[in-house]
Amino acid sequence: MAEGYVEYSGLKKNFGAVPILHGIDLKIDEGAFVVLVGPSGCGKSTLLRMTAGLESVTDGDIKIAGRLVNRVHASNRGIAMVFQSYALYPHMSVDENLAFSLKMRKTPLERIAEAIKGAAGILKLSPLLDRLPAQLSGGQRQRVAMGRALVREPAVFLFDEPLSNLDAKLRVEMRAEIKALHQRLATTTIYVTHDQIEAMTMADTVVVMHDGRIEQVGDPLAIYDRPENLFVADFLGSPAMNLLDGKVVATDYPDQPRAVEVAPGVLLPIPGGAAAEPGQSVVYGVRPEHVALVGEDAGEPVTMTLVEPAGWETHLHADLAGLSLRILSVERVGAKPGDRAGILIDPERVHLFDRATGRRL
Amino acid sequence: MSTTAVRTGTPPTARERLGDFGWGTVPYLMVIPGLAFVLGVLGYAVAGGFWLSLHETDMFLMKTYVGLQNYIAVFNDPRFQASLVRTIVFVIASIALGIAMSMMFALTLYHVGFGKRFFRGMSLVPYFVSGIAAAVMFRFVFTTSGGFVNYVLQQLGLHTPSWLGDPYLAFMVSVLANCWFMVPFATLILLGGLQTVDKEIYDAATIDGAGPVQTFFKITLPMIKPMMGVSLIWVSYISFSTFDIILALTAGGPQRATEVVSMYMYQLAFLQLDFGQGAVLMVVLLLFNTVLSLFYIYFFVLADKRTEKGN
């Protein structure tokens, strides 16, 4: 089996008696942009901090570039980290912040100057070098934090929720900037976020974590299109996937021999190849954008309960025989609460999960 | 018909009734009693002391204006000159020892995990003991025969000096007692400073390869500069004005080895009943404390405020 550039095997972490990570196995290729995503408390930041050497390893191994680093000091692991609070040294100017790690390593002064010049050029920090962090905007501080990581020429970049302190507009800008930086430098990057949009847009590989375990690893769109379990299905996507409890039933239609009954008399179509037997309890998942609105006479009848026009799309909430259903339309739907309509679901876009195990069927 | 249009159903609120007088002035109004009290007591004492320093008081407490005569007499008094030098040495020694101890305790308390609140509470206890009581305790501990320190030294078969009888040792014991009394509060101030430092900054320093010593001098110390300034003000002020501890510990002896300015002031004013010259010493202490405090505020507190601009 090929070695990963960053490799975790059987990695465990306890805080006191509380297990935080239950055995992480993951291989990250050189040059990849990997995003660890999950709700707070899922262990993603702990995993990142263990990679950085800021948390000890309870059990298992971490390898970076083929070297076991479990007991290697943070400063010697060849990593650089960008923190959520930026963690700039407030009493040092921008260039002193950038130079600090190099000074600690007794790098010759001309090399330091060169490195600062290079990083400042890439990150457009040159006019700011004399300023103190307090005199910078949020986005500029973010860039200084990245510059501080850059001058170390690390083997791996670690980002710990770096954009969560920025306002929405700046966040989108910085997102693109970080991605562009990665495309330019091709340095292996591990990026932690709870924001699934960041995960989807930035990653080559998304690692969805939950309760100290990895739920699914893969290409962002592949995970989006084929979530392996209920947690991933529910976590990725905004607005979230509709998940309806139901039972598989046989039907009389020859082209749709099986369907899922989500409410008495309400049958929804399922993909032809789904491994579901009549009588089985399942969770029926369909993304809001895969529910098509049609006229009142066609499809399953629903009643609109809430209409949220967002400009480029419309979020609708509808009542389907007492069940709440989210619908996303890219058109400007003129519906009002109380209006009646019909819905159609493309069976090939449906996700079926076993209700007991939560696994995809 | 014309009146109905204006009436609304609700009576005016307190805020509306205050009108232009406004809520903006309320905080100032609330500060006035405290300010008046402080200025009244302090202002009266300072002004009275200054007035006194320009007068000669005779045995019937009649006062005659003498201009700067008291000042001239005091500054030419070798006993005063010696006490001033002694005070400066005392303050410098107390700052060096006191701040070093406070910083050590603050760092220790910052890192204590188990029993954190207990230890933080305990560390304040010396501050609740009055200076006199602290000095009496130190007397017990350092008494030549039967004192705790000499008992231990004796058991170890070592020389047992006369701690409070030897001028140099007595001076050192006074500095120590003074530190014991003032360190807790300075520790608390520094601990407060340490707690304001974002933990991620220490993480960043770890990754940047700074060891514990470098982290302390290059990260921690510059970041708690304002708090360092405040605790320096406290330590210097307490040491300059120290009186109760020395009175109860050595009463200025032996051979005036611990006669600091405040002790001499007491001597002049209340034992020799020369209120005018005693008041001069009060003015001297006040000036020293003020100048030193301004110095700390300028170099530690204000200098750092500049870095916080825009936050």
| Dihedral over alpha carbons B61, B63, B66, B67 (to 10 degrees) | 110
Q: What is the pTM of this model?
A: 0.81
Quote the distance between the C-alpha of residue B287 and its chain's center.
Answer: 15
Band of the pLDDT at A1, cuts 50, 70, 90? very low
Per-residue confidence (pLDDT) for residue B311, from 0 to 100: 38
Q: What is the pLDDT of residues A185-201, one digit of tens each?
A: 899 999 999 988 899 99
CA distance B113 to chain A (A): 13
Number of inter-chain CB pairs under 8 A, A vs B: 69
CA distance B20 to chain A (A): 37
Band of the pLDDT at B131, cuts 50, 70, 90? confident
Per-residue pLDDT at A88 exceeds 90: yes
| Domain covering A6-235 in this structure, CATH number | 3.40.50.300
Per-residue pLDDT at B123 exceeds 90: no
Chain B positions touching A99 (Cβ under 8 A) are none
Q: Do A81 and B222 touch (CB under 8 A)?
A: no
Chain B: residue nearest A85 by CA? B200
Q: Which CATH number does the domain A242-354 belong to among 2.40.50.140, 3.40.50.150, 3.40.50.1820, 3.40.50.10540?
A: 2.40.50.140
Band of the pLDDT at A3, cuts 50, 70, 90? low
Residue corresponding to tokens 């996303």 = A328
Q: Do B201 and A91 touch (CB under 8 A)?
A: no
Chain A positions touching B208 (Cβ under 8 A) are 75, 100-101, 104, 148
Quote the distance between the C-alpha of residue A71 and its chain's center.
Answer: 29
Positions of CATH 3.40.50.300 in chain A: 6-235
Q: What is the pLDDT of residues A92-105, one digit of tens each?
A: 999 999 999 999 99
- Distance CA(A34)–CA(A8), nearest Å, equals 13
Per-residue pLDDT at B6 exceeds 90: no
Q: Do B200 and A85 touch (CB under 8 A)?
A: yes
Q: What is the pLDDT of residues A231-289, one digit of tens each?
A: 999 999 888 999 999 999 988 887 788 889 998 888 898 887 777 888 899 999 999 99
Q: What is the pLDDT of residues B203-248, one digit of tens each?
A: 999 999 999 999 999 999 999 988 998 999 989 988 988 888 898 8
Per-residue confidence (pLDDT) for residue B178, from 0 to 100: 92
Say which CATH class B77-308 falls into.
mainly alpha
Per-residue pLDDT at B15 exceeds 70: no
Q: What is the pLDDT of residues A6-64, one digit of tens each?
A: 999 999 999 988 999 999 999 999 999 999 999 988 999 999 999 999 999 999 999 99
Q: What's the mean pLDDT in A223-238?
A: 92
Q: Report the residue from B205, B209, B311 with minimal CB separation from A105.
A: B209
Residue of A299, A303, A307, A348 lying closest to A328 (CA atoms): A307
Q: Do B201 and A87 touch (CB under 8 A)?
A: yes
Quote the distance between the C-alpha of residue B128 and its chain's center.
Answer: 14
Q: What is the pLDDT of residues B46-97, one digit of tens each?
A: 898 899 889 888 777 778 888 888 898 888 889 989 999 999 999 999 999 9
Which of B208, B224, B225, B228 is the best substitution to test chain A (most A C-beta atoms within 10 A)? B208
Positions of CATH 2.40.50.140 in chain A: 242-354
Is B219 in CB contact (< 8 Å) with chain A? Answer: yes
Chain B positions touching A100 (Cβ under 8 A) are 205, 208, 210, 218
Is B113 in CB contact (< 8 Å) with chain A? Answer: no
Q: Do A54 and B206 touch (CB under 8 A)?
A: yes
Q: What is the pLDDT of residues A139-157, one digit of tens each?
A: 899 999 999 999 988 999 9
Please give the mean pLDDT across all residues of chain A. 90
Q: What's the mean pLDDT in A293-321?
A: 89
Spatial CB neighbours of A349, under 8 Å, sequence gap ≥ 6: A286, A287, A290
Domain boundaries, chain B: 14-44, 77-308
Band of the pLDDT at B309, cuts 50, 70, 90? very low
CA distance A136 to chain B (A): 8
Chain A: residue nearest B225 by CA? A91
Q: Do A100 and B210 touch (CB under 8 A)?
A: yes
Residue of A234, A210, A239 lying closest to A223 (CA atoms): A234
Q: Do A134 and B222 touch (CB under 8 A)?
A: no
Q: What is the pLDDT of residues B26-36, one digit of tens each?
A: 888 899 999 99
Q: Do B308 and A74 touch (CB under 8 A)?
A: no
Chain A positions touching B201 (Cβ under 8 A) are 87-89
Q: Distance from first CA to last CA of chain B, Å, rounded?
A: 56
ipTM over 0.90: no
Per-residue pLDDT at A127 exceeds 50: yes
Choose the weakest-confidence range: A118-122, A155-159, B110-114: B110-114
Per-residue pLDDT at B19 exceeds 80: no
Three-state SS sequence of chain B: CCCCCCCCCCCCCHHHHHHHHCHHHHHHHHHHHHHHHHHHHHHHHHHHHHHHHCEEECCCCCEEECCCHHHHHHHCCHHHHHHHHHHHHHHHHHHHHHHHHHHHHHHHHHHCCCCHHHHHHHCCHHHHCCHHHHHHHHHHHHCCCCCHHHHHHHHCCCCCCCCCCCHHHHHHHHHHHHHHHHHHHHHHHHHHHHHCCCHHHHHHHHHCCCCHHHHHHHHHHHHCHHHHHHHHHHHHHHHHHCCHHHHHHCCCCCCCCCCCHHHHHHHHHHHCCCHHHHHHHHHHHHHHHHHHHHHHHHHHHHHHHHHHCCC
Q: What's the mean pLDDT in B101-115?
A: 90
